[in-house]
Amino acid sequence: MTKKILLGGKGLTKSISIGGDSPLTVQTMWKDSIIDIPENDKKLEKILKEIYELQTIGCDIIRFAVPDMESVLALNIISEKTSMPLVADIHFDYKLALECLKGNVAAIRINPGNIGAIENTKKVVEACRENGVPIRIGINSGSLPKDLQEKIAQGIISRAEGLCETAVREAEIFEDLKFDQYVVSMKSSDVKETIDCNRFYAKKYNNPLHLGVTEAGPLIGGIVKSSIAFSTLLNEGIGDTIRVSLSSSPENEVVAGLNILKECGKRKGGVTIVSCPRCGRIGFDVHSFVDRWQNKLLAMDKNITVAVMGCVVNGPGEGRHADIGIAGTKDKAIIFKKGKIVQTIDAKDADTVF
């Protein structure tokens, strides 16, 4: 079992844990710059609303890129006003990390290897220790040290071994400073490499692992890659928190992550949506109904299966295991529970059902 790392718990921020016997968590990353937040109340309000919506559908952690002091200022404002644990993603400049730690961030992502002198790492580690804030080491295949790149080029080690070795080197710096509150992530855009490097690491070390396939691609391709990599690792008991990286919205990343965890049996409860693909028998627009209702259903605090089916011919039968379902004829929709029709309504009233 991996070590348990605690994050959050200050101010409004929810306290959560990663690793050990903690439930697996789902993360996403904010997709826009936040630098104008301090002068833009409307934008702050919009971001807080979107964070809240992500939280209601099951997102556990959101990471923000922090490339400059303006972003630090903005993130510190946001982190004081939400219960969502937020992670500051920092490269190169350790001072950004120190400033973020004056706010309410739940974790810092920083690699000792890219913030210069060891003194810089020491300062960040001491500030994290003082504030009870863990660190995530984030390695990806584009940022391996030169000596390992050469070994890979010469075929002495594989890229997966190089990723794992880089993570170990970064982690050793924290271990030398007697700091063990860190999570490791090693990402490649290649599924096999992602699986292998996490296997290598998990075999030797017990630090919690953040799973991700980097630059996974657009919605469908990215979900396929992440599903294969994560399900393989999760079924071997490897992985403590996941992020599905997509060229798509944070909402899609979260929904994809939740579904992967559910299908791997790692997240139970909540609303499960089953819906038919649609065919020529369609009497009800399944696709638009699911689009309109997915987030509202996922936000419900219920352990139920909801079926959305296109026709009355096959709908109630195919969705008979669902606790509640809807199926359409041309101008009517039927509501069924465990396959039994309980109500018939006008199709135009379908949105009033749940």
- Where along the sequence are the contacts to ligand SF4 (CB under 6 A)? 276-279, 281-282, 309-311, 313-315, 318
Cβ 309 to ligand SF4 shortest distance, Å: 4
Q: How many residues does the chain have?
A: 354
Q: Tell me the two tokens of residue 5.
A: 């790392």
Nearer to ligand SF4, 220 or 279 (CB): 279
Q: Tell me the two tokens of residue 305.
A: 């299966």
Q: Which residue is nearest to ligand SF4 (CB)?
A: 310
| Residue 322, CA distances (Å) to 275, 317, 338 in order | 10, 10, 5
Cβ 220 to ligand SF4 shortest distance, Å: 20
Cβ 290 to ligand SF4 shortest distance, Å: 12
Nearer to ligand SF4, 112 or 310 (CB): 310
CA 345, 347, 350 angle in degrees (round to 5)?
A: 80
Smallest CA-to-CA distance from 285 within 250, 241, 252, 327 is with 327
Cβ 328 to ligand SF4 shortest distance, Å: 8
Nearer to ligand SF4, 139 or 309 (CB): 309
Nearer to ligand SF4, 56 or 314 (CB): 314
Nearer to ligand SF4, 47 or 334 (CB): 334
Nearer to ligand SF4, 69 or 313 (CB): 313
Cβ 276 to ligand SF4 shortest distance, Å: 3
Cβ 271 to ligand SF4 shortest distance, Å: 20
Cβ 347 to ligand SF4 shortest distance, Å: 14
Nearer to ligand SF4, 208 or 325 (CB): 325
Nearer to ligand SF4, 40 or 314 (CB): 314
Cβ 256 to ligand SF4 shortest distance, Å: 23
